[in-house]
Amino acid sequence: GAVVSQHPSWVICKSGTSVKIECRSLDFQATTMFWYRQFPKQSLMLMATSNEGSKATYEQGVEKDKFLINHASLTLSTLTVTSAHPEDSSFYICSARDRDRGDEQYFGPGTRLTVT
């Protein structure tokens, strides 16, 4: 149990376009989802925390107008990278907390975004 999926697993887009990444909890209800960004050979950087039905809380230095996060249901959160630029190319990972399982976060497999 406690499976988190992400779609797509990889995407290539052109500069200036927007791309949406979905994060789903498949077998549990996730009241909180987290979005991370991982640069090559580096640790995960938390971008934002989203709670179902409310606005996301962004970490310092993360542009909320560029990285739009929507957590419309207990099983789905989306991250939209707007007006993408090559420097947005990265590995984006989401995680979800199961409210019945305490502190543990369950991670999705990640989405590799390449902006050309």
Partner 1 sequence: GDSVTQMEGPVTLSEEAFLTINCTYTATGYPSLFWYVQYPGEGLQLLLKATKADDKGSNKGFEATYRKETTSFHLEKGSVQVSDSAVYFCALTYSGTASKLTFGTGTRLQVTL
Among 11, 44, 62, 68, binds partner 1 (CB under 8 A): 44
Nearest CB to partner 1, comparing residues 16 and 104? 104
Nearest CB to partner 1, comparing residues 14 and 40? 40
Among 30, 35, 79, 108, binds partner 1 (CB under 8 A): 108
Rounded to a whole number of angstroms, the minimum distance from the CB of residue 91 to partner 1 is: 9
DSSP 84: -
Instruction: Please report where in the chains the tokens 């549990």 appear, as a residue.
Output: 28
Tell me the C-alpha to C-alpha distance, in Å, between residue 67 and each of 2, 102, 111, 116: 26, 28, 14, 18
Among 17, 18, 42, 116, binds partner 1 (CB under 8 A): 42
Selection from 90, 116, 103, 82 nearest residue 36 by Cα: 90
Residue 53 engages partner 1 in binding (rule: CB under 8 A): no
Q: What is d(CA 11, CA 70) in angstroms, rounded to the nearest whole number?
A: 19
Nearest CB to partner 1, comparing residues 18 and 27? 27
Question: Residue 56 burial by CB count (10 A; 0-12/13-18/19+): exposed, middle or buried?
Answer: buried
Binding site for partner 1 (CB under 8 A): 4, 6, 31-32, 34, 41-44, 46, 49, 51, 57, 93, 95, 97, 99, 102-110
